[in-house]
Amino acid sequence: MTYTYDDQNIFAKILRGEIPNETVHETEHTLAFRDIYPQAPVHVLVIPKGPYVCYDHFARAASDAEIVDYTRVVGQLCAELGVQEDGYRLISNAGAHGVQEVPHLHVHILGGRVLGRMLAKA
């Protein structure tokens, strides 16, 4: 599948500094910030700075440096956000069935409470 990146999506605007965000961690290739509508006491979004729509797009098209940086930031944040001991959940929604709202790759880090089962029954 060929992905077309929409540079008007809200996370692209955050990366360009057009919309404010509550940054918790930033590196050369990666930005992490608080979700504006938190669904748990800890709810942070981690995005690559490059134009990738979703996880499989990123895994195929990003450089090794971007992938290593992104992966390490997600892992470091689990420690820095204090959710390692009691546990956490990583979610990355993609496309229509994944109900992805923002078409720029993001991993949700959720924690700080028992999160329930992975999926609600439809």
Q: Which listed residue (29, 57, 104, 106) is catalytic?
A: 106
Please classify residue 88 by burial: count the beta carbons closer than 10 Å to its beta carbon, then call 0-12 exposed, 13-18 middle and 19+ buried.
buried
29 in active site: no
Q: Which residues 6+ apart lie within 8 Å of 88 measured at CB?
A: 42, 78, 81, 109, 110, 111
Nearer to ligand AMP, 38 or 65 (CB): 38
Please give the structure tokens belonging to residue 26.
């930033």
Q: Which of 3, 9, 10, 82 binds ligand AMP (CB under 6 A)?
A: 10
Binding segment (CB under 6 A) for ligand AMP, from list 1-9, 71-79, 93-101, 113-121 = 93-101
Binding segment (CB under 6 A) for ligand AMP, from list 1-9, 32-40, 48-56, 70-78 = 32-40
CA-nearest of 23, 12, 20 to 80 is 23
Q: Which of 3, 102, 112, 115 binds ligand AMP (CB under 6 A)?
A: 102
| Residues acting as catalytic residues | 106
